[in-house]
Chains A and B, each alone.
Chain A
Amino acid sequence: MLVDGLVFALLGSALAIGLAGIGSALGVGIAGEAGAGVMTEDPGKFGQVLLLQALPGTQGIYGLLAGFWVLIKLGLFGGTPVAVTVAQGMQIMFACLPIAIVGLLSGISQGKTAAASIGLIARRPEETGKAIILPAMVETYAVLSLLATILLLNSIKL
């Protein structure tokens, strides 16, 4: 069958991994630019900059997690694939959308916040603690969307 439920399910998995990965990549990139700017003037801040730059990387991992979850649910890892109807496949695809969309947009937002935090520690290095909290607050929503995806995926009966 050309149009099989598996197609949609894998599309969902790909979207989750891909879009969330894009969000993280863009976010980490923006933060990295700001970090490079700060380190041009003050190379000693590398440790703190690296840490702040890594913060937006979470969305990619969450997307990967959701993607794996789908693959595990489909039994593709264990080598015993489950038959999937079109309806079920589409259910899986829509269940992956929360982390895909939110991962993309929150990754970019978190990247901008991380860039701003890097600016903060450039002038006030003693406030590293507070500077780390600010981008981490954006992550709450990525976490919630991951939760939504996992709950949705769990509720689908294959």
Chain B
Amino acid sequence: MKLQTIQSALKEDTGFAYLVGRVRALESGILTQKILENILKTEDLEQALRVVAEIPYWGTVFQGTFHSPQSIDETLMGHYWSILEDFDRYRIATPLTRFFILNFDFNFLKLAMKCHLAKKTVEKSYPTTLDTKRVFRFFAGEGREFLPEPFEDAIREAFSAFESHAYNVQVLEFVLDRFYLQEVYRLALKYESQVLKNWLLAYVAFAYLKAVLRARCQGGKPEMVRLMYTPNPLVSQESFVSLLGASPEKVPEMIADLGFSFILPAESFHDDPYYVAEVEKQMDNYLIRFARSFRSQTFGPEPVFGFLWAKGIDVKNLRILLEGKYFGLSQEALRDKIRECYYE
């Protein structure tokens, strides 16, 4: 019963007390199945936005925005980004928010590189921690410019791969994805919480499977897709490469061998974009079901992480629903696409 052990037990366990308190209050703004049903039942975008405005903490998000897909997308991203930035301010939460912010940063890099190659500027303001001007100066090869660690190497390799693979733009994405997943894996190793570590590893494994399935549909060449791989405990390099080239009948077997048979939908496997979208939905659902166990924890980083992930899924669902309403898609089509919620 040393004072130090008591102190350290307190600090580890209860260091997140403040953030968990905030998360508990914010959780009343997480969407539930009922709210999604209500949005599905509305007839057009106006009504759907009115339903969204009734949800706590979502009331002022869509005020004064145009009702067009780009503007909806921007508003949703801006809302999510503001929450991430808010939590990022707390030192204890920085490892958690880093996972989500990395996603934004790497997406921004992809966008910026494509714009740079097309000799355009990035038109709208994309949320990111990187400074746009500095990134472009780095692209232009200005010597004095430097960027935070993983980005520099990522950009350099991406450009060199771009040149060596006959200027194929997809290659950029693969290389940047590799660096992103490598960072996520490093983050997973650093986490002290075992459940979060496992969650992140699952996320990385799913990312690879997603990439493989997509590449199969789009006819990606193996040597380009291989650029994406980085060593991880769940998906080995041979399985990764062999999945790429295998025939459609063999694929479910191979995925089951890896231990991921639950992500495959009921119908038989075929290389089809709709099938892949279904698989992605199952992956998201698995991750959110995993995260549901975080809800009831009192202290520790898990509730905060679960909340941030749930917010991301909410944003995804709202994007699907609101854009679907804008384009007048049917209820069944939308219901097929939306992910499960953090709170059933």
Contact = CB atoms under 8 A, between A and B. Distances in A.
A21 interface: no
Contacts of A57: none
Given A37-B25, A112-B299, A119 B6 contact: no
Contact of A30 (B6, B14, B22, B28): B14
Contacts, number: 67
Given A112-B14, A112-B298, A40 B25 contact: yes
Interface in B5-21: 6, 10, 13-14, 17-21
A63 interface: no
Contact of B18 (A37, A116, A120, A123): A37
Interface residues of A, number: 22
B22 to A, nearest CB: 4
User: Which of B10, B25, B26 is most buried by chain A, counting CB atoms within 10 A of its CB?
Assistant: B25
B61 to A, nearest CB: 15
A3 to B, nearest CB: 26
Contact of B22 (A40, A108, A115, A116): A40
Interface residues of B, number: 19
B24 interface: yes
A45 B24 CA distance: 13
A122 B21 contact: yes
Contacts of B14: 30, 33, 112, 115
Interface in A10-63: 26, 30, 33-42, 45
B28 A115 contact: no
A96 interface: no
B25 A34 contact: no
A118 interface: yes
A30 B25 contact: no
Contacts of B19: 37
A108 B24 contact: no
Interface string B291-328: 00000001100000000000000000000000000000
A37 B299 contact: no
B74 interface: no
A25 to B, nearest CB: 12
A112 B14 CA distance: 8
B157 interface: no
B298 A122 contact: no
The 8 closest A-B pairs by CB, nearest first: A37-B21, A41-B25, A33-B17, A34-B21, A119-B24, A122-B24, A37-B22, A37-B18
Interface of B: 6, 10, 13-14, 17-28, 57, 298-299
11 contacts: A30-B14, A33-B17, A33-B18, A37-B18, A38-B25, A108-B10, A112-B13, A112-B299, A115-B298, A122-B25, A123-B27
